[in-house]
Structure 1
């Protein structure tokens, strides 16, 4: 299981992520980000698309951000 980060389009305002249900610790870290939102219909998490948030995602989730 691994986190999937969807490459945002140039005009996209949010970065979307899929976090498997089993990865509760990572999900809890993401929830602490101020712009975090869960899209229930898509089963995806998202944060505002900014350089600061990309850096936070890299640190918190040790993820490769496109």
Structure 2
């Protein structure tokens, strides 16, 4: 399965480099991992919700109601 990682570039709790490393490890193990970095800190930017929804729909094969 594909993995979508999202991470704020200014995250004060978990460094952005941690997600970059996780992506490398997943890909090195043969996985499909995409890292979506965004401006901001530890909370997901609501502007990303459409992209997250599309990713989930693609993975689940579900059409919007």
User: Does the pair score TM above 0.5?
Assistant: no
Q: Write 1 or 2 for the structure with the bigger share of helix.
A: 2
What's the TM-score, normalizing by structure 1? 0.29
What's the TM-score, normalizing by structure 2? 0.29
